[in-house]
Amino acid sequence: MNADTVWLARFGDKDWRHKLHKAAQDYKFEATLKPRLDRAIEDWHATQPPAMPPPIISADELRITAPWATDEQHGTDQP
């Protein structure tokens, strides 16, 4: 072969239409990725239980109680 020969096609390489289709798919994926992630994050947050309130620190009784615990767990049901 001489130096002026130009190869127009290579065997085993993808067709230019396949590359164009892949580029369009990649563009669409990247364009829709952020909204899909945002929706998935919002759905995940919606399924999570509500945040627990912080414990109550009582200095005059010298104890810490959990506001989400029942009275039996606190031990305050005694007369």
User: Which residue matches tokens 């992630």?
Assistant: 37
- Quote the pTM value: 0.44
The string of pLDDT tens digits covering residues 41-72 is 999 999 988 877 777 777 777 777 777 766 66
Question: CB within 8 A of 66, min separation 6: which ones?
Answer: 55, 56, 73, 74
Give the span between the Cα atoms of 64 and 56, in whole angstroms.
6
The stretch 2-18 carries a mean pLDDT of 70
The stretch 28-35 carries a mean pLDDT of 95
Reduced to 3 states (helix: H, G, I; strand: E, B; else coil), residue 64 is: strand
Give the closest residue to 66 by CA, choosing from 76, 51, 58, 56: 56
Domain ranges (residues) in the chain: 16-74
- pLDDT on residue 65: 76
